[in-house]
Amino acid sequence: MVTHLERCTKRITSPFLTTTMSPQKQPVSYSNILLGACLNMFEVTTLGQPLEVTKTHMAANRGDGLINSFRNIWARGGILGFYQGLLPWAWIEASTKGAVLLFTASELEHTAKVAGSSNFVAGILGGMGGGIAQAYATMGFCTCMKTVEITRLKVAAGGQKPPGTFQVFMDIYRREGIKGINKGVNAVAIRQCTNWGSRIGLSRLAESCIRDIRGLKQDSSLTPLDKICASVLGGGLSAWNQPIEVIRVEMQSAKNDPNRPQKLSIVTTAKYIYANNGFKGLYRGVTPRICLGVWQTVCMVGVGDIAKVWVAKITGETPVGKH
């Protein structure tokens, strides 16, 4: 008799095989564009931006622990300090990157399943493609400017009035051009690719395990609670790539450090961080990053799947990427 654990293990050790019939190709679902934008706006406006600010602060100021980071962020503006960069950059980024992610990932995931991939492999491919698309299509300058906003406000602590956010944007653009406002975009692309490949792939794997444990077919629908539990697991485990995030923050940081190399690439930045902070420095901010990964995955994968079905009932469309 095969145990539930053996069934789950079998799926992990042979993830490229699908046990169900491949779904038929459906028309492109443009409702996923609007849905993705709405979900990402909700995510960033609630817990997303405070966790992003905390994570970025710790990655840029690697001597600060979690408690000191909370204190320093609070000192920069109270509760509003945790929402630095929300307006306009995080909202611009969220409204566009959410649409790109949900649309691209859903289409790629569905196409991979049509080709015979398992939910696990299709989730990884969809997440990787969606992450790369959103990084280069919408996130470059927004992520850069969010990081600048979070790190530059230390100027105010020295008694100087900091310039406005659009003034900073134009100063960077005049000084460094398009490359300047998209600084670190390759690191963002690597992060997003590995982020969403892991989050969606691991979430689908967790869903498959839940179905195996309950004796359900792999094309059976799960309860909302099951979806959320799978998303929590996928989001939490996706923080393995934290070194990429710390490198990205350092490349985009506006803090002054005379010891930092003038021309930063992914490799030179990694060497600089390791030389100054050791291996642990590459994992600074991993705790808020795990929390952020969980929250983003719950919103975009768990709630996203539920919302696709809900929207389909209203529009009469067959939901693409439904699980």
Treating both helix axes as pointing N-terminal to C-terminal, what angle do 185-214 and 4-13 enclose, rounded to 10 degrees? 150
CA atoms 207, 212, 218, 220: torsion sign: negative
Secondary structure (DSSP) of 231-299:
HHHHHHHGGGGHHHHHHHHHHH-----TTS-SS--HHHHHHHHHHHHHHHHTTTTHHHHHHHHHHHHII
Residues 6+ apart with CB under 8 A from 89: 142, 145, 146, 149, 165
Residues 6+ apart with CB under 8 A from 58: 64, 65, 66, 69, 284, 285, 288
Instruction: For each of the domains in the chain, give its residue range(s) and CATH number, in order of start.
Output: 27-315 (1.50.40.10)
* pLDDT for position 145: 86
What phi and psi, each to the nearest 5 degrees, are found at residue 261? -55, 145
* pLDDT for position 178: 86
Say if CB 51 and CB 295 are below 8 A apart.
yes
Report the distance separating Cα 265 and Cα 316, nearest Å: 48
* pLDDT for position 25: 54
CA atoms 111, 193, 182, 268: torsion sign: negative
C-beta neighbour count of 243 within 10 angstroms: 19
Say if CB 146 and CB 89 are below 8 A apart.
yes
Which tokens in the block code for residue 279? 């291996």
* pLDDT for position 315: 74
Give rounded-to-5 percent helix, strand, coil for the chain. Answer: 75, 0, 25
Tens digits of residue pLDDT in 193-225: 999 999 999 999 999 999 999 999 888 889 999
Report the distance separating Cα 69 and Cα 56, nearest Å: 10
Which parts of the chain register pLDDT below 50?
A: 1-2, 4-5, 9-17, 19-22
| Cα 202–chain centre separation | 14
C-beta neighbour count of 74 within 10 angstroms: 13
Cα R_g (the chain), whole angstroms: 21
Q: CA torsion 122→92→283→181, rounded to 10°? A: 110
* pLDDT for position 13: 43
Residues 6+ apart with CB under 8 A from 227: 207, 301, 302, 303, 305, 306
For 177-189, letters b (16+ CB in 10 Å) and e give eeeebbbbbbbbb
Give the residue among 37, 1, 216 at the shortest CA–CA distance from 138: 37
